[in-house]
Amino acid sequence: MLLEAIAKRARDFDVIHAHIDWLQLPLLSRLGVPFMTTMHGRLDLPGLPELVRQFPEAGFVSISDHQRLPLLDAKWMGTIQHGLPSELLRPSYEKGDYLAFLGRLTAEKGPEDAIRIAHAARMPLRIAAKIPRAETAYFRKHLEPQIDGEKIQLVGEVDDVKKQAFLDRAAALLFPIDWPEPFGLVMIEAMACGTPVIAYRSGSVPEVIEHGVTGFIVENEDQAVKAVGELSKLDRKRVRARFEERFTACRMARQYEDRYRALIAATDRDFNTQRTET
């Protein structure tokens, strides 16, 4: 239904910008309208290189430089990192007294590491997370026995209002991922609240976190525990300032506008070249 609607109205638009990865490529490639696709997921999956080669004219935008590494032969138009409305989450700059974990409760997100880090650092851990239905067995076996309601608390899912208080009052967000995270929106949500991030060096983390400024990039649990002890060295106002400088929705929108203009200009040049040659 969606692709049918796009096909009917394609000529009404200067550019079509897709966010659904691959399904639209056969259609958009033959409509004659400039198009681009922002990739939001991991790209190290079987069959993707072959698929990309079938659509050499398709332009893509990555959300981190690391994300695109498995598909370097794709037609990359640039990297545009995510952004948030600057007023969505606001800081109070009060020193937090617990560590926070925000995200899906899956092994690759590192909740077990977060629990061990909190215990070793002798700080409470509060977990705001969704339990995916497919991960219920993992939660029951590996996480639920460790959640005592005091040192380790599960607060459940949080909306933007509750997220504000959850992150703003935390000493740091723990982000001990074990997968090539394409971006990691929760990192900039924490930064918007002035809350530093302690993250494992994986995926996009080095592109988002500035070590010693907006948080600490670590290699393992021991380094993460040490980083907890060094949080007082970070300026929470500086964390917020770097969010405003790097990760606002306005910055993201400007970058996309630049890509749209470049795509339209390139299409016009190709059309004029073809007309001259004929």
Q: What span, in angstroms and rounded, lies between the C-alpha atoms of 198 and 230? A: 11
User: CA angle, corner 121, sides to 118 and 122, nearest 5?
Assistant: 80
pLDDT of residue 66: 98
CATH number of the domain at 99-246, please? 3.40.50.2000
pLDDT at 271: 46
Read off the pTM: 0.93
**Amino acid 269: pLDDT:** 59
Tell me the one-letter amino acid at 197.
V
| Residue-by-residue pLDDT tens, the chain, 278 positions | 788 888 889 899 999 999 988 889 999 999 989 999 999 999 999 999 999 999 999 999 999 999 999 999 999 999 999 999 999 999 989 889 999 999 999 999 999 999 999 999 999 999 999 888 999 999 999 999 999 999 999 999 999 889 999 999 999 999 999 999 999 999 999 999 999 999 999 999 999 999 999 999 999 999 999 999 999 999 999 999 999 999 999 999 999 999 999 999 987 655 445 544 54
In order of 58, 62, 254, the CA distances from 265 in angstroms are: 16, 21, 17
Report yes or no: 129 and 202 within 8 Å, Cβ to Cβ: no
Question: Nearest to residue 53, comparing CAs of 10, 22, 20, 31?
Answer: 22
Specify the pLDDT at position 41: 94
pLDDT at position 2? 81
Q: Where in the chain is the domain with CATH 3.40.50.2000?
A: 99-246
- pLDDT at residue 267 in the model: 77
Distances 220 to 139, 174, 234 between C-alpha atoms, Å: 22, 12, 20
